[in-house]
Structure 1
Amino acid sequence: MWADPNVRAVLVLLAFAAAYVLYALIWPFTHCGACGGGKRTAPQSQGRYWRKCGRCGGTGKKIRLLARMFGRNP
């Protein structure tokens, strides 16, 4: 049973999927892809934000899809 390459491939894929679900439930937030995680600054602003991101509202983070599917909304 374990020698069959198809069985091993399916088991490896299931292990990766389970690991990603666990990862999404433990750490439900990721950086915002639109602003780069809150790094949207103007060159002459010396590090201050010049406007809030439209997607994340200036927080720099967004909730992962799987975390939202499992009800981990903030």
Structure 2
Amino acid sequence: MWTDPNVRAVLLLLLALAAAYLAYALIWPYTHCGACGGGKKTAPNSKGKYWRKCGRCGGTGKKIRLLARALGRKP
């Protein structure tokens, strides 16, 4: 099974993708908040001002990625 070149190529591709995502999560541990769209939730006619803090991110507009949290990064 492991001697088949196609299986080895797919396995190497999956390992490379996993390593790339691991590096991505370590370099950029934060992503935009899905609840408020990265701090862009505003009230109508508010001229771009926030009308309340997001309950998920606390108004920062960012949240920590799941893999970064699993690796010990703190928000």
For the aligned pair, the TM-score class normalised by the smaller chain equals over 0.9
Q: Please provide the CA RMSD for this pair.
A: 1.5
TM-score (norm 1): 0.93
Give ranges in structure 1 of 5+ residues lacking alignment. none
Percent identity at matched positions? 70
Runs of 4+ in 1 over 6 A off after TM superposition: none
Q: Displacement, 1:2?
A: 8.3
Q: Name the CA distance, whole Å, in 2 between partners of 1:43 and 1:8.
A: 53
Q: Displacement, 1:43?
A: 1.7
List per-residue Cα deviations over 1:19-56 (Å, max 9, x = no partner). Answer: 00010001000000000000000121000000011100
TM-score (norm 2): 0.92
- Partner in structure 1 of residue 64 of structure 2: 63
